[in-house]
Amino acid sequence: MTTFVTFGEAMLRLGPHDLKRWQQSDGMFEVGPAGAELNVACSLAILGQEVRYVTALPNENPLADMLIAKIQSYGVKTEYVQRAPGRLGLIFVETGACQRPGRVHYDRSGSSVSLADAAEYPWADIFATADHLHLTGITPALSKEAANATLHGAKTAKDRGMTVSCDLNFRSKLWKWHETKLPHQLAGDTMRAILPHIDLVVANEADLGDVLGLKSDLAEGRIDPSVLAQLAREAAKDFPNLSRIAISMRDSISASHNRWGGLLLDIATDQVHLAPVQENTYRPYEINPIVDRVGAGDAFAAGLLYALQSEDYRAPERAIAFAVAASCLAHTLPGDVNQSNLSEIVTLLEGNASGRVIR
């Protein structure tokens, strides 16, 4: 079995109930764990994998204690969570519906992980007997220190012969730590230093444009797999160390209705694999209505990581199909963490999308 490590910021997510706006909430909020790398860790653990989650959380903080207990409840190992100065980051999510878009507000400035130096993490112990490190472009956006820690982790893991994956996950609201660079410039410079140590990149069409400058003429929210396949090949030329590039494909009809699929470029064979496929034709999942789309990209990444190390789903066409099915189901569940189990994902993967009650 592969032993995974994920590194990044853990937060608490707060949001009003029942698709309400914040001003309608009457002080009643849903509270749960959040954070891209944490979401991936929890999803992998739910799928039965051994996962070590690495972050920094504030000392003597009962909310941080509660968050660690919740992470552990999924089966994720937390012995390398560092307790340090700083605060616990928060994310506030207002779920959209129909033509009203969802909104996300971050309150994470000065969080413990943004203050921690790379040397504060015991990397040799963290990576002992580990096989795979997963990172994202969110944690490096928080601060220069967090960017350096991410880079150091990637370099160290690669030097030890581990496989390293990274979800670009561009967040323009976060890339603020350099006074003279715009968010996309800072993200591009920072991630281009990290990507030479990466084997697998996960992204969407916006990430490729905002981080790597690989833009298409597609209208916002519209998808053309052939165009995205070409962008993936261009990224592969820029970073010859990469072995695979995966792109999640979201066709946004409204906040409540999306078409969802994915693409995997296997660079060694220059083969592009799409999912889902029916009768040799790409047929995206129709997700309508969406329950919660926040965290669906992390479910896509986790599904792909699981599939690529499994006996049954490691073939590229099977791996991308598994990732898309897992993330499709994540849209049907509230909260950041995909609670779908292996049998549910496989059922959808094999074509049973009716949603009929199981008795």
Query: Which stretches of the chain are DSSP H helices?
Result: 36-46, 62-73, 112-115, 123-127, 144-159, 183-194, 205-212, 225-238, 296-308, 316-330, 342-349
- Assess if residue 355 is contained within a domain: no
- Assess if residue 50 is contained within a domain: yes
Quick one: pLDDT at residue 359? 59
- Assess if residue 165 is contained within a domain: yes
Quick one: pLDDT at residue 194? 98
Quick one: pLDDT at residue 232? 97
The CATH number linked to 47 is 3.40.1190.20
- Assess if residue 174 is contained within a domain: yes
Side chain identity, residue 140:
P
Quick one: pLDDT at residue 219? 64
Tell me how many domains the chain contains: 1
- Give dist(CA 296, CA 276) in Å, integer: 16
- Assess if residue 356 is contained within a domain: no
- Give dist(CA 247, CA 307) in Å, integer: 15
- Number of CB atoms found within 10 A of residue 299's CB: 30
Quick one: pLDDT at residue 19? 85
Interhelix angle 342-349/316-330, nearest 10 degrees: 110
Which residues fall within 8 angstroms of residue 359, CB to CB, at 6 or more apart? none
- Assess if residue 359 is contained within a domain: no
What would the DSSP string read from start to end of 227-244? HHHHHHHHHHHH-TT--E
- Assess if residue 95 is contained within a domain: yes
- Assess if residue 7 is contained within a domain: yes
Residues spanned by the domain of 303: 3-349
Which residues in the chain show pLDDT less than 50?
Answer: none
Side chain identity, residue 57:
L
pTM for the full model?
A: 0.96
Quick one: pLDDT at residue 259? 97
Quick one: pLDDT at residue 18? 84
DSSP code, position 268: T
Quick one: pLDDT at residue 353? 81
Quick one: pLDDT at residue 72? 98
- Number of CB atoms found within 10 A of residue 307's CB: 25
Quick one: pLDDT at residue 357? 60
Read off φ and ψ for residue 6, nearest 5 degrees: -125, 145
